[in-house]
C-alpha cells in the first residue's frame, strides 16, 4: 500500500450519535460538500451520480404514464405569486427575493421559485383553449429555493434539486385519478428501486399543501424511527384555474375551468437512502441507483495474469452493470473497506488461486456473505446477488418499520410511547386541529404523518380529547 494513502476513517456509531453518523457518511462517502452560501450544497460526483440514477428511473416512469418534460423560469414576479392567496401565504416565510438587477433596483421584486404552480398556470392560460387541449401532463426537473433556518445536507437545504409535475384535466375525476396515480408511481419507485417501505395516505387539513384541496404523502421511516416526508401529490381542484383565469371550451360548448394537480420528490431521497439503509461502516446503496453496482478487486495484483483476468471480468460485467475495476496501489483490505463505505452492493474478488480454480469470490454489501462462483456463471451469479441485496435491504427496512410502529388508545399511553420509544404511533383522531396542536406541544414535536388508505379501528374515540373518532392517523416526529 502506498505510504501516502490512509485507511478508511472510522465512522461514528449509528446508535451512539445518529446525527454525527449521518454527517460522517455524507462527508466520507464524498456525497456533497458545503458551499459559501448557508444551506446550499455542492454535489460531489458520487452524490450527483446517485441523483442521476434516481432521475433516470423516475423520468422513465413519468414518460411511460404520458408525461412530458418542460422547463419554467427560475424567477417569479411578485404580482404573479400573489394571485393565489393561500399559496403565497404558505410559502411567504421561506421566499428569497431578487430586488436588484445589475446596478438598478427592480420596479417589482422577483421571487426565486420555491415551487412553480403559478408559472405553470400562467403558461397554461396561454395554451389551453379547448377540451381537446387536455389533459396537459407536464413535469420539470429543476432546483428550487426555500430559505431554511436550520439546514442539513440533503434533508433540509435552502436550494435543492427535485422534479415537480403539474397537470391540467378536463374533469375533477380525472385530476383526482392523476393525483393518486402519481402517488402510486412514487410508492412503487420507493419499493422497487430504493428498497424502502413506507406508510402511504392522505394528509390532515392542517398539513395540506398551501392552496391544495387534498395532499397525499409517502412517509418512509428512518432507522432511528423518525419520519421523512418522502414525496407528495396534491389535488388542487379548480382553485388555481379560477385565480389565473384559465378556461377552456367544453364538449357542450360552454366555458369551463380545468382541474389541476402537482406532485414532487427531491434530493432528500438521498438522505432517506442513507438513514434507512446505512450502517456503521458507511453507505448501503440499493443496487438500482448505486453509481457502482459491482467493484472488481484484484488480489495480489502484482502477480502475473491477475490484472488481466480482473480486467476481463470487468469487460464482461460492464455490458450489464455499472462496474469499477480498482487497480490502484492500495491494499486489498483498504479497497474492501473503501467500497463498503461507498455502499457498493457487490464486490468481486479475483486472485491467483481463484484463477487456478476458474472462480471468483462474490461479497454482498448488505450482509457481507461470501460466495465462491465459477467464472463460467459470473453474470448470473452477480445478477442473483444484486437481486438478493435489494430484497434483503427492503425486508430489513420493513422489519424496522414494523418493530418501531406502536399503538396508543389513551392520551397517557400516547405520551408515554412518544417519550420512551422511537417510531410511528397509530392512534384515533377526532378531526380537530386543536388535538393535533396539543399532541405536538405535549410530546415535543410529534405530528400527524398521514391518514392511511387502510384505516384500522383502534378505538371509537379520539386519543387526545375522547370525542368520537373520525380517522386513524399515523403520528411521528419528522426530519
Q: What is the pLDDT of residues 180-219, one digit of tens each?
A: 999 999 999 999 999 999 999 999 999 999 889 999 999 9
CA pair distance 73, 239, nearest whole angstrom:
22
Q: Is the pLDDT confidence value at 4 over 70?
A: no
Per-residue confidence (pLDDT) for residue 9, from 0 to 100: 64
CA pair distance 393, 86, nearest whole angstrom:
41
Run of H or E including 424: strand 424-429
Q: What is the pLDDT of residues 349-361, one digit of tens each?
A: 999 999 999 999 9
Per-residue confidence (pLDDT) for residue 460, from 0 to 100: 97
**Spatial CA neighbour of 76 closest among 44, 102, 111, 36:** 111
- CB atoms under 10 Å from CB of 23, counted, come to 15
- Average pLDDT (225-238) is 97
- Average pLDDT (386-412) is 98
Question: Does 148 or 97 have the greater pLDDT score?
Answer: 97
Per-residue confidence (pLDDT) for residue 91, from 0 to 100: 72
Per-residue confidence (pLDDT) for residue 478, from 0 to 100: 95
Inter-CA distances, 106 with 80, 88, 99, 102, Å: 15, 20, 5, 9
Prediction pTM value: 0.94
Q: Mean pLDDT, the chain, as a whole number?
A: 95
Q: Is the pLDDT confidence value at 279 over 60?
A: yes
Q: What is the pLDDT of residues 425-448, one digit of tens each?
A: 999 999 999 999 999 999 999 999
Q: What is the pLDDT of residues 26-75, one digit of tens each?
A: 999 999 999 999 889 999 999 999 999 999 999 999 999 999 999 999 99
pLDDT band at residue 420 using 50, 70 and 90 as cut-offs: very high
Q: What is the largest CA-CA distance in the chain?
A: 81
The phi-psi region of residue 323 (left if phi > 0; otherwise alpha if psi is between -120 and 50; otherwise beta) is beta
Per-residue confidence (pLDDT) for residue 8, from 0 to 100: 54
Q: Is the pLDDT confidence value at 76 over 70?
A: yes
Going from the N-terminus, what domains does the chain have, and what CATH number goes with each? Answer: 18-277 (3.30.930.10), 294-392 (3.40.50.800), 405-476 (3.30.110.30)
Buried b (16+ CB within 10 A) or exposed e, 420-432: eebbbbbbbbbbe
pLDDT band at residue 465 using 50, 70 and 90 as cut-offs: very high
Could you give the 3-state DSSP secondary structure of residue 119? helix
- Average pLDDT (302-306) is 93
**Spatial CA neighbour of 479 closest among 148, 226, 177:** 226
Amino acid at each position: 500500500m502506498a505510504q501516502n494513502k490512509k485507511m478508511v476513517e472510522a465512522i461514528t456509531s449509528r446508535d451512539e450519535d445518529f446525527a454525527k453518523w449521518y454527517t460522517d457518511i455524507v462527508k466520507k462517502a464524498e456525497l456533497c460538500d458545503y458551499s459559501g452560501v448557508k444551506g446550499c450544497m455542492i454535489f460531489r460526483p458520487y452524490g450527483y451520480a446517485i441523483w442521476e440514477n434516481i432521475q433516470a428511473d423516475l423520468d422513465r416512469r413519468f414518460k411511460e404514464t404520458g408525461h412530458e418534460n418542460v422547463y419554467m423560469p427560475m424567477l417569479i414576479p411578485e404580482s404573479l405569486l400573489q394571485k393565489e392567496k393561500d399559496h403565497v401565504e404558505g410559502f411567504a416565510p421561506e421566499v428569497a427575493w431578487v430586488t436588484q438587477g445589475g446596478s438598478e433596483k427592480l420596479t417589482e421584486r422577483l421571487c426565486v421559485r420555491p415551487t412553480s404552480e403559478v408559472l405553470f398556470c400562467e403558461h397554461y392560460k396561454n395554451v389551453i383553449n379547448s377540451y381537446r387541449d387536455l389533459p396537459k401532463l407536464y413535469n420539470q426537473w429543476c432546483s428550487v429555493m426555500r430559505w431554511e433556518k436550520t439546514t442539513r445536507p440533503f434533508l433540509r437545504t435552502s436550494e435543492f434539486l427535485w422534479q415537480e409535475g403539474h397537470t391540467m384535466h378536463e374533469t375533477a375525476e380525472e385530476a383526482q385519478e392523476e393525483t393518486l396515480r402519481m402517488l402510486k408511481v412514487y410508492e412503487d419507485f420507493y419499493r422497487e428501486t430504493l428498497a424502502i417501505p413506507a406508510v402511504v395516505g392522505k394528509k390532515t387539513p392542517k398539513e395540506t399543501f398551501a392552496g391544495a384541496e387534498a395532499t397525499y404523502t409517502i412517509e418512509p421511516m428512518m432507522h432511528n424511527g423518525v419520519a421523512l416526508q418522502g414525496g407528495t401529490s396534491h389535488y388542487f381542484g379548480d382553485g388555481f384555474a379560477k385565480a389565473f383565469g384559465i378556461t377552456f371550451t367544453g364538449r357542450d360548448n360552454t366555458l369551463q375551468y380545468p382541474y389541476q394537480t402537482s406532485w414532487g420528490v427531491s434530493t432528500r431521497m438521498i438522505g432517506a437512502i442513507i438513514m434507512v439503509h446505512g450502517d456503521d461502516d458507511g453507505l448501503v446503496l440499493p443496487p438500482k441507483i448505486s453509481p457502482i453496482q459491482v467493484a472488481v478487486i484484484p488480489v495480489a495484483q502484482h502477480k502475473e495474469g491477475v490484472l488481466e483476468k480482473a480486467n476481463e471480468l470487468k469487460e464482461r460485467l460492464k455490458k450489464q452493470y455499472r462496474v469499477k475495476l480498482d487497480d490502484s496501489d492500495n491494499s486489498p483490505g483498504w479497497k474492501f473497506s473503501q467500497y463498503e463505505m461507498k455502499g457498493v452492493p457487490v464486490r468481486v474478488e479475483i486472485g491467483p488461486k481463484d484463477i487456478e480454480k476458474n472462480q471468483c469470490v462474490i461479497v454482498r454489501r448488505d450482509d457481507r456473505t461470501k460466495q465462491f462462483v465459477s467464472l463460467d456463471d459470473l453474470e448470473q451469479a452477480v445478477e442473483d446477488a444484486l437481486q438478493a441485496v435489494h430484497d434483503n435491504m427492503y425486508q430489513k427496512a420493513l422489519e424496522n418499520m414494523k418493530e418501531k410502529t406502536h399503538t396508543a388508545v389513551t392520551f397517557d399511553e400516547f405520551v408515554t410511547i412518544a417519550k420512551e420509544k422511537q417510531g410511528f404511533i397509530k392512534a384515533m383522531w377526532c378531526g380537530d386541529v386543536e388535538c393535533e396542536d396539543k399532541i405536538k406541544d405535549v410530546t415535543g414535536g410529534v405530528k400527524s404523518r398521514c391518514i392511511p388508505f387502510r384505516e384500522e379501528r383502534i378505538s371509537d374515540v379520539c386519543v387526545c380529547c375522547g370525542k368520537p373518532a373520525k380517522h386513524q392517523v399515523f403520528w411521528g416526529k419528522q426530519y
